[in-house]
Amino acid sequence: MEYKFLGKTGVKVSSLCFGTMSFGGDADRDTSAQLYQMCRDAGINFFDCANVYAGGKSEEILGELIHDHRDEVVITSKVYFPTSEDVNARGASRRQMMRSVEASLQRLKTDWIDIYFIHHFDDFTDLEHSLRALDDLVQQGKILYPAVSNFAAWQIMKALGISRQYGWAAIEVIQPMYNLAKRQAEVEILPLAQAERLAVIPYSPLGGGLLSGKYGTGKKPESGRLVENKMYQTRYGDPALYVLAERFSELASSHGYHPAPLAVAWVASHPAVTAPIIGARSPEQLKQILQCLEIKMTPELRAEISALSPEPPPATDRNEERTPFQYGSR
């Protein structure tokens, strides 16, 4: 296992992060314990969680599993999405953040959360209020590093500017969606992270299972997120993505790889990425995905894989800037 610095924090984390969304849901407690031990045996010290996963059970199980070696692992949690029917049990208001942190700390059986994400940009809360709350939580020692997930580049940069203006603890980690089917992060988010030395832990490197080898133009398993979950069906509903999945599986086979670990290795090979978030429902799935550690992602292989899906245009939409056919360079 390779270990990388978490942005500019000085903390080292494994080059894979295990997402615990399955804990208490698709994976019962015994299976969760097996998955966790497999991760530890592979050298993973980085575990991602959220207060909404399995209605809080994911945090509870993760807390039980890390309890006797808390100092050896780096964990995350998140706040934003609804945790109950109460009208205020959602969002990134100061009130909700303060209450959510306390609940997460109890479920995780820990005194601190290493990385605490605002899970989504809150259109109805002043960003200064949210960032001040994060700074207070850092000052109280309840979280160590503020973070954001599902933020646009301008929202991340605005947050950094506000924190710098007031001398508050700044965003250190970002968590965008990034995979071969969803490459929007390449346009501004990943370059921003490199420029600001932010850690990047992308989620969904398999595209909700799309790139696992189970899907194609006439191929679909009986179960899985893209079959059972309307959110994922909407996210990956474009028929062209199933053509991509089929072509990717064929390419993986031609190189002697299983598609799932190759998809993770492709995400991990981007220079801005610290650690892709992997997940699994069973030990068999995890064993397969961990094969990504054995794949040497050469520039040539990355380019071959990247050519399967459209490269998003630059932020200026001036495609010619990537070619010799422009006014020139500095």
pLDDT tens per residue, range 153-195: 999 999 999 999 999 999 999 999 999 999 999 999 999 999 9
Please compute the mean of the pLDDT values over residues 278-307 and round it to a whole number: 97
Domains and CATH numbers, the chain: 3-311 (3.20.20.100)
Asked if 202 and 185 touch (Cβ cutoff 8 Å), the reply is yes
> Residue 223: is its pLDDT beyond 90?
no
pLDDT digits (tens, 9 = 90+) for 312-329: 999 999 888 888 888 887
The span from the CA of 181 to the CA of 202, in Å, is 13
**Cβ contacts of 144 within 8 Å, gap of 6 or more:** 112, 113, 114, 115, 138
Structure tokens at 119: 């899970």
Q: What is the DSSP letter of 169?
A: P
Count of CB atoms situated within 10 Å of the CB of 223: 12
Instruction: Answer yes or no: 116 catalytic.
Output: no
Rounded distance between C-alpha atoms, residue 7 and residue 194, angstroms: 9
Q: Is 196 exposed, middle or buried (0-12, 13-18, 19+ CB in 10 A)?
A: middle
Q: Taking the CA of residue 224 as centre, how many other CA atoms within 13 Å lie in the half-sphere pointing to its CB? A: 20
Structure tokens given for 102:
């306390």
| Angle at the Cα of 212 from the Cα atoms of 296 and 187, rounded to 5 degrees | 70
Query: What torsion, rounded to 10 degrees, do the Cα atoms 209, 51, 137, 142 define?
Result: -100
pLDDT for the residue numbered 122: 98
pTM of the entire predicted model? 0.96
For strand 12-14 and strand 3-5, is the pairing parallel, antiparallel, or unpaired? antiparallel
What residues are paired with 19 via a beta bridge? Answer: 48
pLDDT tens per residue, range 57-76: 999 999 999 999 999 999 99
| Residue matched to tokens 């605002």 | 118
Q: Which two tokens stand for residue 10?
A: 């000085």
129 pLDDT exceeds 90? yes
pLDDT tens digit sequence for 229-242 = 899 999 999 999 99
Which residues lie closer than 8 Å to 33 by C-beta, 6 or more apart? Answer: 61, 65
CA distance 152 to 149: 9
Q: How far apart are CA 293 and CA 115, in angstroms?
A: 24
Active site residue: 53, 80, 116, 242, which one? 53
Q: Where are the beta strands (DSSP E) in 185-303?
A: 199-200, 277-278
Q: If phi over 0 gives left and psi between -120 and 50 gives alpha, with beta otherwise, what is residue 238?
A: beta
